[in-house]
Structure 1
Amino acid sequence: MASTDVLTGLMNRRGFIAETQARLADNLQGVVLIVDADHFKRINDTFGHAVGDICLRAVADRLRDVTTSQDVVARIGGEEFGIFVRRESLAIPALGQALCAVIPVRHHAATDPLQLTLSAGAAVTLQGETLEQAMRRADEALYCAKQAGRAKLVTWVADHVACSQPRPDPLFNPVAG
């Protein structure tokens, strides 16, 4: 239970970090994805936290549907999820499409389902880097996906992510970090 998120049944942040670091220590290169529910605050503010919880469980179901038992999948905080996969880089766009497709969420407060979407950022792990560094790059790519209209995957490529404006955080340097 110490590594499980009670609401979603997924691994929690602690479990995600431990399991992914273990795989990276075994030199298992892969891709770290940070996934975030779009406009989640608006859902909670409009429909209440009970509907927000239904949405989080729907996101967890989507993540289970598009990943394999070999992947590490976790709720790492709030409406943010982490995934570590060992796939060829060319397979990541298809994974992103499956992740970011509309999730219809039925709930008691409306006759029509909510149309929940996800945005995602991905970063291929680099030899010798820490998980924290890979997660920062994936998070920067996520920020760019949000800025580019949401409901999409952006992948960190080479030493940067193509984003029209830098993240508004003076302590964060995506190239160095």
Structure 2
Amino acid sequence: MLIGPDFSRELRRGEEDEVEALLRSAFDGAAEAELVRALRKTGAMAGESVATWDGRIAGYYALSHMVAPKGWLCLAPVAVSPDRQGRGLGRRMMGMLSEWARLSQTYVVVLGQVAFYERAGFSQARAQGLTSPYPLAHTMIAGPGTDVPVSALQYPKAFATSG
């Protein structure tokens, strides 16, 4: 019998505590769990996805609505259980998300490790026309086309107040 990750799916009601435990474990602290709680509370959360492995949540990511540009989403946080890291689960989740962004014609912004996210289909080069309160050296986008959008990024307030 093959033992490994199941397909990614939407977070289900009642799984919030398991996600919080995953975030605290993966990030060795509470900042990302507090961010998720704030995004939910303020209504900025656009969606939450999980990947299960052997019947438990092993991967998670959140998408929230950017204040600007309208219609864009922000990816954060992304987490994989420490005991499942290095097995391709995060790259698989991000690859599926970047393909969804392309097909749905939705821009998704992420701030993170360039090498990891670019392997999954995000582009740092395409983000260089953006202005951001965070370093462009670690800002990437996924979405439609091959253009370099010129726009000012404005994140949900929860990002300024968390951590």
TM-score when normalising by structure 2: 0.31
TM-score when normalising by structure 1: 0.29
